[in-house]
A and B are shown apart, each in its own frame.
Chain A
Amino acid sequence: MPRSSAPTVTRPRAGARLGAGVGADAARPDGVPKARGEFAFSSDLWMDGMLWGKTLRSPHVSARIVAVDPSPALAIPGVRAVVTAADVPGRPTYGLEVPDQPVFASEVVRYHGEPVAAVAADHPEAARAAARAIEVVYEPLEPVVDAERALEAPPLHPDGNLFRHLVIRHGDLEATGDVVVEGSYVVGMQDQAFMGPESGLAVPAEDGGIDLYVATQWLHVDRDQIAESLGMPPERVRLHLAGVGGAFGGREDVSLQIHLCLLALGTGRPVKMVYSRDESFFGHVHRHPAKMWFRHHATRGGDLVKVEARIVLDGGAYLSSSNAVVSNAACFAPGPYRVPNALIDAYAVRTNNPPCGAMRGFGAVQVCYGHEAQMDKLAAALGMDPVELRLRNALERFDRLVTGQVLTGAVPVRECIRAAMAHPLPPAPSPLDPPMARPGGAGLTADHADVRRGVGVAVSVKNVAYSEGFDDYATARVRLEVGVGGEPVATVVAATAEVGQGFVTLAQQIVREELGVAGVLLAPAGTTDIGSAGSSSASRQTWMSGGAIQLACAAIRRQLIARAAASWGCAESSLEWDAAEVVHEGTGERLGLAALLAHGAVEAEHEYHHRPTVPLDADGQGDAHLSVMVAAHRAVVDVDPGLGLVKVVQVATGQDVGRALNPTQVTGQIEGGIAQGIGLAVMEEIVLDEGRVKNPSFTDYLVPTTLDMPAVAATFVEEPEPDAPYGAKGVGEPPAISSGPAVLAAIRDATGMALTRAPVRPEDIALAGAAPLSVASGQPR
C-alpha cells in the first residue's frame, strides 16, 4: 500500500534506535497466541463446576409486566437459579451517563429484547430452556417508535422522552448567501457487529465479593455500575479484562455484567455467559439512526456563509451515551469547513426502539452523510468542482469551529483531500472483466453494458477523546527491574482495554522508546491494582494511556538519574539520559541500566489528564473539544441501476494521523474503518418493524465480506499534534466516518439519483425514477 507524507511534514525517524520503538512496525505481543488459536477470549473461559447463564428478553416492544413466575424454570433439571428485578440488592438501574436503564425490567419493558430475568444452569441448553419456561404475563402497549412523535408523546420513562436538545448559535443568524441549497437525509441503525460475542465468567469470592472476567471497553465504569447494583463497595467487585473480540463502541455499556454477578453470587458458583449472535444484536446499543435537514448558504464565489441544520437522533429506550453523541452531531454538523454563521438544532430522543449509544465515529458519522451531500449540492448549484469547493472552505489551524473554539492543533483538511485525490483511479470497467467483479458479484447478475461508474468524495472531522468538561484521564504504572535472565525488564500496569486496536503493541513501543529496554511485559488489565484508564473509545487511548505510560517512563528516568547522582556524588543537573544509560555531561562517564537497577527496581505511576475542556453554553459555544481528527475519502463504484446493485471498486484516503506510531497498525485501522463505513453506506442496517428487530443474525444483517471490500489506497498525513504524546492523534474513527458518504456520493454520481438515505438499498436505486442529473451530481470524474 502506498504511504506518503503530506507536504507539511517530514516523517520523523524515531524508533530507528530500537527496532520496535515508536514509529516502527512492531509486532503485536498477543499476535502469536491469536494466530495459533491459543489466545483466551472471554467466550473461551472455563472453570471447574461452572454454570451457564442465559437471559430472558422481552418479546414485546412496549408492555406492562403483569407477573413473572420463575417456578416452571426452576423445575427443569439442572437449573440452579433464576434472578429477576426483585433480586437486585442495590440500585435497580445502570447507565453510562445517567442510570436510567433497569438491570431487569420490572414494571414495563421499553424495547424489544429488554432483559426480564436471567437463569443459571448446568448446561447451556438447560439454561436456554429454563429462560423460555419462565412465565411472564405481559400487557402489550402501543409503542412509540418515531423520534419526532416521541417528542410529543406521553413520557415513556420517568425521565421523559427528550434526552438532550442542543442548539448551536454562531455568528450572524440572519446572514444569508447568494446561493442556498437544502436537503433532508436519513441514516439507518448500524450495529457494531464485533465478532467476539458478549461473554464473561463471574466467580464468587471468599470475601463475599466477586471476580468478573469480561470483554469490555472500560473496566472501571463497568465496575462502578456493577457495584452500585450489587450494593457492594467497588473494591469488592474486581474486574479482569478477558480477551476482547472487537468492540467499536458496542462494549461501552454494561450488557451481561450485572446479570452474571447476580447469578454467581446467588448460586455461589462460577457462572459463564456467552450471547448467541441473535442475543448480541439485542444485548448492546447501536449507532443512532438519524433524520437530518440542512440548509447551506454560500456566496457566488463559493464561500460558505451559513449552515442551518436540524438533527434528530433516535436514542431508543434508554440514554446510554446519547447526550455526548448528539453533542458531536451538532458540533460537527458543518463538517471540516470554515462556517462563520450557523444555527444547529440537535435532539436526542427516547423511543421504544433498541437503545443507541457509542459506535465508531460517534455522532460525526450521521451528520457527515448530510454535510457532504450538501457540499455536492452546493457545488452543483455553483457550477463548481466539488473538490475545489471543499478545498476553498477547508478548515485550517486557528480557524473556529461553529462552537467558537479556535483550533490550535493540526487541521490538515486540504492535505487530506489532496492526498486522497492523488491516488490513481482504477481502470474503467471493461467487458473483459470477470463477471464476478461486477455489481452483484458471485451472483453473476450484471451485464457489462448496464454498469455505470461513479466517483464521490467526502471529508470529515471529529473530536478525539472526551469533551465538554469531562475529566478525562488515564492511569499507568511502569516498573523497571532486572529480570530473571539478568536483563532489564519493564512491566506496564494499566487498565486499558485492548479490544483489537493494538494498544498493547504501542504500550511496548513507548516503553522501549522511553527507557531503551527490549523486554516489556504487560500486566493483565484489571481494576484491582491500578486506577482507571478511561474507555477504549473516542480514538483516545494512544493519546491518553500512551501519555500516561510515556510520563511514567519519564519519572522512572528521573529516578535513575537521581540514583546515578547519588552514586557519583554529583548534581542531578549535570546528568542526562541517553538511550538506556545515564551520562555525566562533564566526565562522559556512563551508568547502564544493569548498574542503576542493582539497588532494586524503580517504579512510577502517572495519571494523564488532557487539557481541560468546557461544557457548551446555552448557545452551544465553548472550547468543548480537546482536538480534532480529519480524513478525506474518494470512492469509486460500479452500479447496475436496473438491478440496484453496487460494487465498491476502490476507496482512496488521506488521513490526518498526527504521527503514525505503528504504520502497519494504522493501516489496519484505516482499512477496517473503511469497511465499516462501506457497510453503513450499502448494506448494514438493523431493520425495525414497529420497534421489532427483524434481522438479528449474520444471515440477515450483512457485514462486508472479502467480496464486498475494495482495494484501499491510503496516505497518512502526518502533521504532529502539538499537545499529543509523539504528536500522534487517534486513528480509529476517521476512516469509518467519511468513507460511507464518499460511497454514497459515488453512487449518486453513477446514477444521477438523489439518494438521501444510508444505507442505499437495491430498491432505492432500482425502483426510484432517476432524479435530474444536474441536482444530485457534480462529482469529479
Chain B
Amino acid sequence: MTSREVARSPDGCQEPGEEASDAPADEVAGAYELAGAYELAGAYELHVNGTVRTVEDAWLGESLLYVLRERLGLSGAKNACEQGECGSCSVLLDDVVVCACCVLAVDAIGSHVETVEGVTERGVAADVQAALLAAGGVQCGFCTPGFVVAVYDLLRRRPDAGELEVREALSGNLCRCTGYGRILEAVRTVQEERSGAAV
C-alpha cells in the first residue's frame, strides 16, 4: 500500500480502534465545538454526602465521577472503565445505585449524591466493610468502594437475598483479584450477623 493519508476519524479522534479518514483539521475542530464538550457549565451546586458543594469553572461534559474525584476531592468512587461496565464508580443518586461515570455531573443538580465516603461516615455499611476485610475480600482494593456501595444497597433492599440473587445483584461490579469468593463470603457473613441481631 502506498496511499498517503492523514489518519483521523470523522470526529477527530485519532485513537486506535477507529478507521482513519482525511477530514481537514478545522472541520474536525468545528465538529468538536458543536458537541458542546468545551462549554462551561457556569457555577453549580451539588448535594453530596449531606452537604452542598459548589462546582466552578466546570465543563458541561464532565461526568459526575470526574467532578466528584477531581473537583470535589472525593476519590473514593473509582474509575476502572468509565464506560458503565465495572461498577467501581458506584454511588447513590437519590438513594439509587448508579455508575457515576455514566451520569453527567450537571444532571445530578438537585439530586442527593452519596459516595462511599458518605456511606462510611454514616456508618451504615460498617459491618459490610468489616466483613469484607475479615473474609479477605479486599486485595488491590480498587473494586472495593464500588462493592461496599453495591452490597450496602443490596442488603438494605433485599436482606435475605439468596446466593443467586446476590450474585446477580453484584454482577455489575467487576473484581479482577479475588474471584469473588471472599466477597460473597463477606455478604453471607453480614446477612447472618444482621439476621441474628434482628432476632
Chain B CB within 8 A of A44 CB: yes
- Which of A141, A674, A699 is the one whose CB lies under 8 Å from B1? A141
Is there contact, CB below 8 Å, between B138 and A57? no
Please state if A32 and B38 are interface contacts (CB–CB under 8 Å). no
Q: Which single residue of chain B is at the shortest CB-CB distance from A245?
A: B142
Interface membership of B191, Cβ < 8 A? no
Q: Mark A213-240, 1 if CB is under 8 A from B, else 0.
A: 0000000000000000000000000000
The A17-49 residues at the B interface (CB cut-off 8 A) are 25, 27-28, 30-32, 34-41, 43-44, 46
B80 near A277 (CB under 8 angstroms)? yes
Q: Let me know if B159 is at the binding interface, CB within 8 A.
A: no
Q: Which residues of B contact A705 (CB under 8 A)?
A: 170-174, 180
- Among A44, A66, A193, point to the contact of B75 (Cβ < 8 A): A44
Counting CB contacts under 8 A, is A132 at the interface? yes
Q: Among the interface residues A124, A709, A711, which one has the most CB atoms of the partner chain B within 10 A?
A: A709
Interface pair B4/A137, CB less than 8 Å apart: yes
B86–A113 touching, CB < 8 Å:
no
Indicate if the CB atoms of B4 and A60 lie closer than 8 Å: no
Q: Which of B1-43 contact A (CB under 8 A)?
A: 1-9, 12-20, 25, 28-29, 32, 37-38
> Cβ of B140 and Cβ of A698 under 8 Å apart?
no
Tell which of B2, B80, B133 has the most Cβ of chain A within 10 Å.
B80
Report whether B7 and A60 are in contact in the complex, using a CB–CB cutoff of 8 Å.
yes
- Shortest A491–chain B CB gap in Å is 23
Measured in the bound complex, the distance between the Cα atoms of B135 and A667 in whole Å is 10
| Residue A123, interface by CB 8 Å | yes
CB distance from A429 to the nearest CB of B (A): 14
Whether B138 and A699, one on each chain, are in contact in the complex, defined by CB atoms closer than 8 angstroms, is no
Q: How far is the CA of A57 from the CA of B18 in the complex (A)?
A: 11
Binding site of B, secondary structure by majority: helix, strand, loop or mixed?
loop
**A500–B141 touching, CB < 8 Å:** yes
CB <8 Å contact, A133 and B12:
yes
Q: Mark interface residues in A338-379 (1 if CB within 8 Å of B CB, else 0).
A: 000000000000000000000000000000000000000000
Kindly state the separation between the CA atoms of A60 and B2 in the bound complex, as whole angstroms: 13
Q: Is the CB of A59 within 8 A of B20?
A: yes
Known A-B contacts A140-B3, A703-B174; the reply to A132 vs B28 at CB < 8 A is: yes
- Inter-chain contact B79/A194, CB cutoff 8 Å: no
Interface residues of B in 166-199 (CB under 8 A from A): 166-168, 170-184
With A36-B120, A136-B6, A197-B79 known to touch, is A46 a contact of B73 (CB < 8 Å)? Answer: yes
Contact pick for A136, options B14, B37, B171, CB 8 Å: B14
- Interface assignment of A112: CB less than 8 Å from any CB of chain B: yes
B52 contacts the other chain (CB 8 A): no
A35: which of B29, B86, B138, B182 is its contact (CB, 8 Å)? B138
Set of chain A residues within 8 Å of B166, measured between Cβ atoms: 706
A434 at interface, CB cutoff 8 A: yes
Q: How far is the CB of B110 from chain A (nearest CB, A)?
A: 24
The answer for the CA separation of A113 and B17 in the assembled complex, in Å, is 8
CB distance from A23 to the nearest CB of B (A): 15
Contact with A along B116-140 (1 / 0, CB 8 A): 1100100000000110111111111
Indicate if the CB atoms of B120 and A134 lie closer than 8 Å: no
Q: How far is the CB of A44 from chain B (nearest CB, A)?
A: 4
Q: Which of A35, A72, A124 contacts B148 (CB 8 A)?
A: A35
B64 interfacial by beta-carbon distance below 8 Å: no
> How far in angstroms is the closest Cβ of chain A from B107?
17
Which A residues are CB-close (under 8 A) to B178?
668, 671-672, 675
Residues of B within 8 A of A125 (CB): 37-38, 59, 61
Identify which of B59, B77, B142, B145 gathers the most chain A CB atoms within 10 Å of its CB.
B142
| CB pair B174 A35 closer than 8 Å | no
- Digitize A469-510: 1 where CB-to-B-CB distance is under 8 Å, 0 elsewhere: 000000000000000000000000000000111100000000
- Considering the chains assembled together, what is the distance between the CA atoms of A133 and B129 in angstroms? 45
The listed residue with most A CB atoms (<10 A of its CB), out of B81, B172, B177, is: B177
Sorting the interface of chain B by its residue count into under 10, 10 to 19, 20 to 34 or 35 or more gives 35 or more
A459 adjacent to chain B (CB < 8 Å): no
- A59 in contact with B7 (CB, 8 Å): yes
- The answer for the CA separation of A776 and B115 in the assembled complex, in Å, is 52
Q: Which residue of A lies closest to B115 (CB)?
A: A37
Shortest C-beta distance, A547 to chain B (Å), equals 23
Q: Is A511 engaged at the interface, CB distance under 8 Å to the other chain? A: no
With beta carbons under 8 angstroms apart, the residue of B29, B61, B86 that contacts A698 is B86
Does A726 belong to the interface (CB within 8 Å)?
no
Report if A673 contacts B (CB, 8 A): yes
B177, A500: Cβ atoms closer than 8 Å: yes
The complex places the Cα of A709 from the Cα of B180 at a distance, in Å, of 7
Interface pair A139/B2, CB less than 8 Å apart = yes
The docked-state distance in angstroms from the alpha carbon of A278 to that of B15 is: 9
**Interface hits, A81-129 → B, CB 8 Å:** 112-113, 123-126, 129
A59/B18 in contact, CB under 8 A: yes
- Given A57-B15, A134-B14, A437-B164, check contact A195 B4 (CB 8 Å): no
Q: Is A274 an interface residue (CB 8 A)?
A: yes
In the complex, what distance in Å separates the CA atom of A573 from the CA atom of B145? 53
Closest to A114 in B: B16
* Residue of B with least CB distance to A696: B17
Given A36-B120, A696-B16: A195 and B2 interface contact (C-beta under 8 Å): no
For A139, the chain B residues whose CB sits under 8 A away are 1-4
A442 contacts the other chain (Cβ, under 8 Å)?
yes
Residue on B nearest A666 in the bound complex, by CB: B136
Contact of A140 with B1 in the complex, beta carbons under 8 Å: yes
Q: Give A1 to B181 CA distance when docked, in angstroms.
A: 9
Chain A positions 710 through 738: 1 when the CB is less than 8 Å from some CB of chain B, otherwise 0: 01100000000000000000000000000
Q: Smallest Cβ distance from B98 to chain A, in angstroms?
A: 16
State the 3 A-B residue pairs at the shortest beta-carbon distance, nearest first.
Answer: A37-B76, A500-B140, A34-B141
Q: A25-B136, A76-B29 are in contact. List 7 more A-B contacts (CB 8 A).
A: A59-B20, A132-B12, A195-B86, A664-B135, A675-B180, A706-B183, A711-B181
- Contact residues of B with A, CB < 8 Å? 1-9, 12-20, 25, 28-29, 32, 37-38, 59, 61, 66, 69-70, 73, 75-83, 85-86, 88, 115-117, 120, 129-130, 132-145, 148, 164, 166-168, 170-184
- A selection of 8 A-B contacts at a CB cut-off of 8 Å is A135-B25, A141-B1, A195-B78, A195-B175, A244-B140, A245-B141, A277-B85, A667-B181
